Amino acid sequence: MARILRINTRERTYEYQDLGEYAGLGGRALTSRMILNEIPPTCNPIGPDNKLIIATGLLAGTLAANSGRISVGAKSPLTGGIKESNSGGMVALKMAKLDLLAVVLEDKPTRDAPLCTIKITKDGVSFEDASDLEGVGTYAASEKLLEAHGQKTGVMLIGPAGETCRLAASIQFTDPRKRPARAAGRGGLGAVMGSKRVKALVFDDAGGLGSEYADKAAFKEAAKRWAQILRDHPVTGQGLPAFGTSILVNILNEAGALPTKNFREGRFDKVAGITGEKMVEYMEARGGRVKEGCHPGCMIQCSQAYHDKDGNYLTSGFEYETVWAFGANSLIDDLDAIAQMDRLCDDLGLDTIDVGNAVVMAMDGGVIPWGDGQAAINLLKRVYDKNDSLGQIIGNGTAFAGEAFGVERIPVVKRQALPAYDPRSVKGVGVTYATTPMGADHTAGYAVCQNILKVGGDIDPLKSTSDNIEVSKNLQIATAAVDATGLCLFVAFAVLDTEDSLDVIAKMISAKYGIDFKASDVAPVGIGVLKDEYAFNEAAGFTKAHDQLPEFFSKETLPPHNTRWEYSIEDLQKAKA
Amino acid sequence: MARILRINTRERTYEYQDLGEYAGLGGRALTSRMILNEIPPTCNPIGPDNKLIIATGLLAGTLAANSGRISVGAKSPLTGGIKESNSGGMVALKMAKLDLLAVVLEDKPTRDAPLCTIKITKDGVSFEDASDLEGVGTYAASEKLLEAHGQKTGVMLIGPAGETCRLAASIQFTDPRKRPARAAGRGGLGAVMGSKRVKALVFDDAGGLGSEYADKAAFKEAAKRWAQILRDHPVTGQGLPAFGTSILVNILNEAGALPTKNFREGRFDKVAGITGEKMVEYMEARGGRVKEGCHPGCMIQCSQAYHDKDGNYLTSGFEYETVWAFGANSLIDDLDAIAQMDRLCDDLGLDTIDVGNAVVMAMDGGVIPWGDGQAAINLLKRVYDKNDSLGQIIGNGTAFAGEAFGVERIPVVKRQALPAYDPRSVKGVGVTYATTPMGADHTAGYAVCQNILKVGGDIDPLKSTSDNIEVSKNLQIATAAVDATGLCLFVAFAVLDTEDSLDVIAKMISAKYGIDFKASDVAPVGIGVLKDEYAFNEAAGFTKAHDQLPEFFSKETLPPHNTRWEYSIEDLQKAKA
């Protein structure tokens, strides 16, 4: 049976534990329950009482397509609340092979302790000095680690930003092509890892057997149908593979909901330079790859390899939200410049959404000119120098940068930056931004489906209806459940439109664990996760006053639809599970 | 009857109002009630919905000694909660002469609007361009304003820090000797004024008559006894006049409660260089003045004129907390360097406590060396350059600087920096830090009296008793009431030890307003103020989770007494009125 591995980063000791009270939980359900049970809600996020919890989903390591996502949880240094940040990469599969449901980093050494690498194999845990990797970007650092520990290992690591506890620091994961291009980006979890002086975790699954299936034949049958469901849906089977997530650039621009110039407009007049179609054109012309999976077993293949003008690999995991933050919202229309910033963020270990909007704050505050890609690139590079004050500001994300530069219009909820959908013209996702316990986060309840893509329903994105509250609530519940399985959130496109999909997921869980899990059990799982998260946040000092958008969304209308944010605090509370 | 003057800073219009619902309130009681009634609790503190409220106390402009303090209130940019910051200076008296109980700055122009000066006379309000004062320090700016508008006017103004909305920006007030050395320092209220593009308010009381006494004879009699009470008490009559507040340096060091090296020790081995006695020695040798009042009618005279080595005026209002923050807590033992920093803070318009601790964060984060006075001075000077990133960080105060520099031990409550008394060894004031709605603030309930000075009682400062909870609660109530009168808080030393003092204060209020105010009415006033403040903070998103000290006070013991912070969240709630 799967185990929990607890590692004390101060004492450099470790122990394996049975699941105990955590049996039956996976992914975000596990990280959030463990945070609620074990982390003092008012503790210092970079102090000894915080824990960094890495958990696979319930279906990790199985034959189920797209089941290799990983959840990272902690009290967030950025928001001060509970955080689960979800990533692809190799680690979930390696953990499953090592029969580890969760790895928990506890306690912390002193701030001036040397950085270490923690290697995890079937035989246990070893600690190695990583002083030589201090200040080294994740690309060079992961290459060294793979050389030292074997090309088949899976690595999660922080960049210079995490080492210095930047509030927007990510944790990067190596992908199937050994690039540290997948990120648990949001909420500053890299700072938690950095506070524990851990540069990297290396998972070597050699000799690992994983756990068994209770009923392998039944699992195989369900998994086959599951793959069919993903193949058959136009979004997961065609749209995402063809253009990646950046297919959304044109769609949101058309919808008048592509936030432009720090959420002042809903359309970007130079959008043609940054579309998914343009990205594909460049990749095809330069020898990049249009379709890649972020983890083994991915059928959607929405990732890519983006090459520079000279045909050399530049970046991967180059997402719509990144293109937007460094593009439309910064008035930059040079996709190559944006790609360089994506690469820089991955290498520095920074969240592209929070840091993209921090660059926007620098533009709004007059630090660099609007639309100047090279100035923005230069700004990001300053984060490599831990003593550079401007780099310290940018690396701390949007809220911090806005306050540093005296900006009034700071687009954050719970101090986390808003993603790439203007809440005034995609009201369902606006409700999610306001009410998810995570801080502004599109992935917590992606009502863009019903508002814009017309997947799983058709709800007017411009109207302040109760429908938009209801859809956000239901999606937040469903998402929390999906995040417990380790399935990629993008399966939701197919799930929402396919009648037997929840049954099939339930069958896979039942066949894996020998239990009788039903489709009707999915929603209660999601509700349970959210209730854990609400409970932690409440004890940490969050109230309904924090479940709101910044006031400028209520005061300013967004062209071209000239819509405003109109929900009251009390309205919004109805979106909570 | 006294009036309220409302000024719209966007439209540049104004109107006088009767007191209406605010009749009977003064000072902090008025600012806090107005904030509760009129400011949306979740509004952006530097947005148009915040208001800057300047209110005199109920006894302003009367014969009562020490009645010329002023309250400035708003939603705090630093804490996000309610804020009253209290200052001396000339403005309260001028307002009283102009029959103004409160001046309220409302709305705001755009961020790039030119700065203005608002002049208030008996004939009304005029707006004047202040573009020439942009970036100008308060010393030069106030000198120019007094030249332009008359040496008898009273000025309140912001420095470069307020103009750029620094979170630790103060509002400075000219004192009886025309120096802008008195500050409404705490909570970043200078940023609120700056967001409204108001550089200065100039009060010209020529021709103003003030308001009448209902019973002048009775007032005179009570005021005479009041003056006697202040003269007779050893602290207000002798200690404070002789040495100023810096008399506390030696006392707190002896008590083992002088926070040293970012709250790591309770005694500073080089304390001899920064004592009140040393300050007096320098002032006497260099031609400074040991006794000054911060406002007309002050009998305590705890202020001073501190001259540099060459005998030139350097600073005034040079308080114990400033000496501590830039001294013991920074390991700087050069009083002249500290005095330069006090002057710089006044000139920049910065709170010495929050910025002093921001300098401490820079030392703890390795930005400048511990104890290096010149490096600290250079750091402060960077705030003059609005484009300097390090200056932006320092000007945003302790919490911000700590997060910029990756410091784990950040001494703030509600993001406001702790003052000069270690809560582990002055537990009563620690309870105040944790539970006052203001954020860490010694003036909100100064249990140093009972814990250390043995004024008004004798309560063990080291023990985690309910007595320390109780004394903090009672002092918070009494302080809120005192802050409604416009009396200097230092009268509390005498009040606590003098039986008829509350009767005398009540008699003065009764005689001024023709009401029957009794000593027994004082506590309900204080309770009412606190309840208003709790209500605002609750709606702004504060909970008991915010009523706590940072965790390092619970985890680390403080030498020499090796005491720890031990109160639970629930214990602390008992300190709330």
- Closest C-alpha to B441, from B351, B364, B528, B524: B351
Alpha carbon distance B22, B4 (integer Å): 9
Alpha carbon distance A177, A148 (integer Å): 17
B221 and B510 Cβ atoms separated by less than 8 Å: no
* pLDDT tens string A463-522: 999 999 999 999 999 999 999 999 999 999 999 999 999 999 999 999 999 999 999 999
B44 and B89 Cβ atoms separated by less than 8 Å: no
* pLDDT tens string B335-349: 999 999 999 999 999
CB contact burial A516-539 (16+ within 10 A = b; e otherwise): ebeeeebbebbbbbbbbbbbbbeb
- Tokens standing for residue A164: 């210095």
What is the arithmetic mean of pLDDT over A188-209? 97
DSSP structural state of residue A317: S
Give the distance from residue B477's alpha carbon to the nearest chain A alpha carbon, in angstroms.
Answer: 25
How far CA A484 is from CA of A478, A479, B494, in Å, comes to: 10, 9, 64
Q: Which CATH architecture fits A245-414?
A: Orthogonal Bundle (1.10)
Closest chain B CA to residue A165: B406
Nearest to B389 among A390, A542, A545 (CB): A390
* pLDDT tens string B547-565: 999 999 999 999 999 999 9
Radius of gyration of chain B from Cα atoms?
22
B543 to chain A: which residues are within 8 Å by CB? 538, 541-543
Closest chain B CA to residue A404: B392
Nearest to A44 among B42, B393, B408 (CB): B408
Alpha carbon distance B489, A285 (integer Å): 75
* pLDDT tens string B143-171: 999 999 999 999 999 999 999 999 999 99
Nearest to B550 among A44, A543, A548 (CB): A44
ipTM: 0.96
Nearest to A404 among B396, B405, B543 (CB): B396
The domain over range B250-420 is classified in CATH as 3.40.50.720: no
Q: Do B396 and A405 touch (CB under 8 A)?
A: no
Residue in the block written with tokens 């938009």: A468
Between positions 397 and 416 of A, the ones with CB within 8 A of B are 400, 403-406, 408
What CATH class does A3-203 carry? alpha beta
B357 and B418 Cβ atoms separated by less than 8 Å: yes
Give the distance from residue B553's alpha carbon to the nearest chain A alpha carbon, in angstroms.
Answer: 12
- Tokens standing for residue A577: 């599970």
DSSP structural state of residue A461: S
* pLDDT for residue B211: 81
- Tokens standing for residue A92: 């979930």
| Torsion angles phi and psi, residue B392, rounded to 5 | -60, -40
- Band (pLDDT 50/70/90 cuts) for residue A211 is confident
What is the arithmetic mean of pLDDT over A28-32? 98
A393 to chain B: which residues are within 8 Å by CB? 389, 392-393, 404
**β-strand pairing of B171-173 with B154-157:** antiparallel
* pLDDT tens string B407-427: 999 999 999 999 999 999 999
* pLDDT for residue A210: 86
Average pLDDT, chain B: 97
Alpha carbon distance B273, B251 (integer Å): 14
* pLDDT tens string A36-84: 999 999 999 999 999 999 999 999 999 999 999 999 999 999 999 999 9
Computed from CA positions of residues A221, A223, A229, A232, in that sequence, does the dihedral angle turn out positive or negative?
Answer: negative
Share of chain B above pLDDT 90, in %: 99
Alpha carbon distance B325, B419 (integer Å): 8
Q: Do A541 and B543 touch (CB under 8 A)?
A: yes
* pLDDT for residue B245: 95
Q: Do A367 and B390 touch (CB under 8 A)?
A: no
- Whether the predicted pLDDT of B123 surpasses 90: yes
Domain ranges of chain A: 3-203, 245-414
* pLDDT tens string B260-308: 999 999 999 999 999 999 999 999 999 999 999 999 999 999 999 999 9
What three-state secondary structure class fits B198? strand
- Tokens standing for residue B96: 């009283």
Residues with Cβ within 8 Å of A372's Cβ and at least 6 positions away in sequence, in order, are A332, A363
* pLDDT for residue B509: 97
A176 and A86 Cβ atoms separated by less than 8 Å: no
Average pLDDT, chain A: 97
Alpha carbon distance B475, B478 (integer Å): 5
- Whether the predicted pLDDT of B1 surpasses 90: no
How big is the A-B interface in CB pairs under 8 Å?
101
- Whether the predicted pLDDT of B210 surpasses 90: no
Alpha carbon distance A282, A298 (integer Å): 24
